[in-house]
Amino acid sequence: MDIQLHDKTFASFIAVHEIKNAVGIVANEINSFYKQKTPVILPVLDGAFVFAADLAKQLTIQAKFSFIKYKSYHNTQSTGTVSQLLGLDIDIKGQDVLLVEDIIDTGLTLHYLLAELKQHQPASIKIATLLAKPDALKVPLEIDFKGIEIPNRFVVGYGMDYNGLGRNLDGVYVLKEADTDTRAVR
């Protein structure tokens, strides 16, 4: 089923059951890795709020949560510039930090964010994401907990938006373009 957001049409891309499965896999990996630790989990707003909430429900470890907000997108394109909108409000010195992202494409936001967080001297920093676009990466980036790899296409839903719309969609939708494959890469 296609949906219309502003002036763009999006096609169904990743079904709800596939997302739930990916969240479960990521949660199990995090539970195993942090079994004897209490990480500080930092979802990157706005997009990661849905993934972070579903992930939190499946975590069996003890964890502290705080939120940060950075922006690098305008319309359907990464701007290449990262703006901090809501900064760190918890002391992470000597603590294990887990950044939670909805999607990683160019990696520029996380590259900038990692440099910022390292200045606070955490014991470790790991990255979890629901979606990753390996073909879009512009900087080397190690993703520790990854749900689904997708091609370099613009997506909305499950927290991700197009100019403010689409975050509330249960599934993930891809920008519809002529003669393109809309299947996710597994």
CATH of the domain at 16: 3.40.50.2020
Number of domains observed in the structure of the chain? 1
One of 7, 89, 105, 179 is an active-site residue; which one? 105
Task: Answer yes or no: are the C-beta atoms of 129 and 147 closer than 8 Å.
Answer: yes
- Is there a domain that residue 186 lies in? no
Model confidence pTM above 0.75 = yes
**Rounded to whole angstroms, how far apart are CA atoms 163 and 160?**
10
Within a domain: 181: no
Domain containing residue 38: 3-175
137 part of a folded domain: yes
> Residue 21: inside a domain, yes or no?
yes
* 105: annotated active-site residue: yes
40 belongs to a structural domain: yes
Residue-by-residue pLDDT tens, the chain, 186 positions: 899 999 999 999 999 999 999 999 999 999 999 999 999 999 998 899 999 999 999 999 999 999 988 665 545 555 555 554 446 788 999 999 999 999 999 998 889 889 989 999 999 999 999 999 999 999 999 999 999 999 999 999 999 999 999 999 999 999 998 544 444 443
| Cα–Cα distance list, 172 to 12, 95, 132 (Å) | 6, 33, 13
